[in-house]
């Protein structure tokens, strides 16, 4: 049994958005996949035709200072955040929250974006981001915009 039919590895956010929009069937972004792959295998989410791998997009794997602001891409692993001196210096609550997620093997694969998007009650990363009053950059086919993490909403039926 195949959990998906097509796997894309774009190198830009725009390519990823185009891949999601043009898929022949349901499409989902993936980075770590610790929750998504388990949900697909166990039938806890609708079948997927196309997976779009975000780990090949440098912007989404970046962890750096940009214009005096800490920037963490959605595909940065939790273990990279825990180890990062930048995160410890500028967002200690996020570093500590990331260290609470799963075990070392999960943290090596799981991403901040996945922790936030999966919207579990124990989404430690989301709580830290809200306390730190973080802005999330949202990209879609119409452009990009910044919104407070606390204003993100999820369609739990179609996550």
The secondary structure element, H or E, covering residue 20 is: helix 13-22
In a domain, 80, yes or no: yes
Number of independent structural domains in the chain: 2
Cα 65–chain centre separation: 19
Q: Which residue range forms the structural domain that includes residue 78?
A: 59-150
Same domain, yes or no, for 44 and 70? no
Domain containing residue 116: CATH number: 3.30.465.10
Q: 64 and 140, same structural domain?
A: yes
Q: Looking at residue 133, what DSSP letter applies?
A: T
Residue 157 lies in a domain: no
Using one digit for the tens of pLDDT, what is the confidence trace for 5-19? Answer: 999 999 999 999 999
CA dist 37 and 149 (Å) reads 25
How would you class 7 by CB atoms within 10 Å of its CB: exposed for 0-12, middle for 13-18, buried for 19 or more? exposed
On whether residue 93 sits in a domain, the answer given is: yes
- 24 Cβ neighbours under 8 A, 6+ residues apart: 5, 6, 49, 50
Where does the pLDDT of residue 152 fall: very low under 50, low under 70, confident under 90, or very high at 90 and above?
confident
Q: For the segment 73-128, what is each residue's pLDDT rounded down to a tens digit?
A: 999 999 999 999 999 999 999 999 999 888 899 899 989 888 888 766 566 788 88
1 lies in some domain: no
pLDDT at 129 over 80: yes
In a domain, 159, yes or no: no
pLDDT of residue 95: 94
Q: What is the CATH number of the domain that holds 17?
A: 3.30.43.10
Global pTM reads 0.86
- Examine the fold and report which residue of 56, 74, 89 is the final residue of a domain before the chain moves on: 56
């Amino acid at each position: 049994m195949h959990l998906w039919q097509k796997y894309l590895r774009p190198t830009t956010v725009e390519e990823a958005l185009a891949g999601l929009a043009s898929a022949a069937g349901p499409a989902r972004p993936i980075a770590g996949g610790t929750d998504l792959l388990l949900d697909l295998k166990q039938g806890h989410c609708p079948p997927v035709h196309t997976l779009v791998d975000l780990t090949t997009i440098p912007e989404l794997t970046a962890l750096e200072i940009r214009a005096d602001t800490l920037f963490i891409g959605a595909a940065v692993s939790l273990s990279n955040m825990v180890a990062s001196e930048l995160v410890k210096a500028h967002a200690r609550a996020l570093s500590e929250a990331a260290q609470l997620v799963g075990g070392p093997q999960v943290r090596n694969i799981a991403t901040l974006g996945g922790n936030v998007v999966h919207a579990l009650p124990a989404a430690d990363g989301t709580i830290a981001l809200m306390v730190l009053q973080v802005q999330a950059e949202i990209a879609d086919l119409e452009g990009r915009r910044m919104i407070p993490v606390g204003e993100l909403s999820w369609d739990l039926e179609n996550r």
